[in-house]
Structure 1
Amino acid sequence: MFTLPSLPYDYDALEPAIDDETMRIHHTMHHQTYIANLNAAIESLQFKQPEFYNNLHTVYNERGERAALEWILTDAAATLKDSTTIIINNAGGHLNHSLFWQYMRPVETNNQPNKTVAATLAKHFGSVKAFQEAFTKAATGHFGSGWAWLVRDDSGVLSIMSTANQDNPITHGLVPLLGLDVWEHAYYLRYQNRRAEYVDVWWSVVDWNRLADTITT
């Protein structure tokens, strides 16, 4: 049912920020495992919870993969009776990683946000620098495995949050705009326990153009 998305760049395209081997393992093994576990858990509910199973397939067929993942994490989460934890955790892992790949692009010299993004970040955080400092603090200070996020609420207010494990902001009624994986598997091969170094260099591969398409909508 759910499938591994192709990356919008080669595995070595984020060098030297994120190395080829880390990207290959992260994408083809870690991300793929979330998908395999999610699909297996869903299939196990075909006869145990046919309403969930059929509704999920309807959403998937009519609205696509991302909508189906969001449906699992929001509308369906409260009604799941069996396999709730494994489905929620792996759906979150699939969605989070699918977004994460899109948040990045090959390294560019002087990678900076455009005027629209800069103005929006300044409005909500005081300046681009202040936003980056606050986001970096959330990412480096998060205890254990998880994610750091730039999110938007229903009123259009932007904020920064961190989530544990594979929790996604949509489960809190928030729209994820930018996210950074701070699980050790995202950086350990190159940076070992130096998470702060990984977070710092990650800014060189942030796709500000993509953020420009979503930050004001």
Structure 2
Amino acid sequence: MSQQYQTDYDRRRFLKTVAAAGVVAAGAGLGVTAMPGMAHATEIELPPLPFAENALEPVISARTMSFHYGKHHAGYVSKANAGLENSPLKGKPIEDIIKATADDPDLQGLFNNVAQVWNHTFFWHSIAPGSGEPSGALLEKINADFGSVDACKQALAETAGNRFASGWAWLVLDGGTLKAINTMNADTPIAHGMTPLLTIDVWEHAYYLDYQNRRGDFVTGVLDKLINWDFAAKNLEQA
């Protein structure tokens, strides 16, 4: 690569990043979620878990949580901060950084790490020990769009199973309708104008120590025993 070409390339990349920062500034204040301390957070930090590491047993072991939270989630935080160090996006709300970088190939690495910080934090709030059942407006919406809670769970189980390789299964509000979708790798509904209500991590590191290749058993356990419907209800209320 010639020096002139490299200079032109670096200038184009810089201008793209500055333009992305402008998009962030224009979009600040969007995408409120029910995650305490994460809505519009301007610091990329490893947030505390909303439960003890052993609180999800036997569905998710403390050993899995130790690696998943303490190594994988923490690693995304570290890499996200490194990627933002000299970026005009540094200090912007995390959700807006995701939206600004989602479609820029030059910023794919930054998007992946920042989105994974957000996705994991959202996942920790999507699960809780002692899962109950949806009620109120959320139950009414589930019945209207899926027919029943069981049908909603089945749709989530199917979309989780259909996610080839790594990714996420989501319950989202899209155009006023609840849908079960999956995304690949770090991709996230907030990059596509959808409102996530809850998610299930189906990367192998989320379940392999406990279930090996039995992803379906992991997903069933989460759906039957750990889904935090109160969190989903708050996200629906704020949509």
Give the Å deviation of 1:4: 0.2
CA distance in 2, matches of 1:55, 1:190: 38
What is the CA deviation profile of residues 142-196 of structure 1, one whole-angstrom value per residue up to 9, with x for unaligned ones?
100000011112x422111100001001111111111000000000001000000
The reply to whether residue 8 of structure 1 matches residue 45 of structure 2 is no
Superposition pairs for residues 53-92 of structure 1, below 5 Å?
53-57=87-91, 59=92, 68-77=93-102, 82=106, 84-92=107-115
Contact 2:84–2:90 at 8 Å: present in 1 too?
no
What is the CA deviation profile of residues 81-135 of structure 1, one whole-angstrom value per residue up to 9, with x for unaligned ones?
85x1210100111010010001111135xx3222432211001111111111111
Identity of aligned residues (%): 38
Contact 2:197–2:231 at 8 Å: present in 1 too?
no
* Partner of residue 34, structure 1: 76
The reply to whether residue 161 of structure 1 matches residue 181 of structure 2 is yes
CA distance in 2, matches of 1:158, 1:187: 26
CA distance in 1, matches of 2:168, 2:89: 29
The reply to whether residue 105 of structure 1 matches residue 147 of structure 2 is no
Superposition pairs for residues 117-196 of structure 1, below 5 Å?
117-153=138-174, 155-196=175-216
CA distance in 2, matches of 1:180, 1:81: 26
Give the Å deviation of 1:56: 3.6
CA distance in 2, matches of 1:171, 1:179: 15
Over 3 Å counting, the alpha-carbon distance change for 1:198 and 1:77 in structure 2 is closer
* Partner of residue 202, structure 1: 222
RMSD: 1.6
Unaligned runs of 5+ in 1: 47-52, 60-67
CA distance in 1, matches of 2:139, 2:161: 23
Computing the radius of gyration over CA atoms, which structure comes out larger, 1 or 2? 2
Q: 2:118 aligns with which of 59, 71, 95?
A: 95
CA distance in 2, matches of 1:40, 1:214: 30
What is the CA deviation profile of residues 48-101 of structure 1, one whole-angstrom value per residue up to 9, with x for unaligned ones?
xxxxx34542x3xxxxxxxx22111213545x685x121010011101001000
CA distance in 2, matches of 1:19, 1:148: 20
Alignment coverage as a number of residue pairs: 195
Q: Normalized against structure 2, the TM-score is what?
A: 0.77
* Range that drifts further, 23-32 or 112-121: 112-121
Q: Normalized against structure 1, the TM-score is what?
A: 0.84
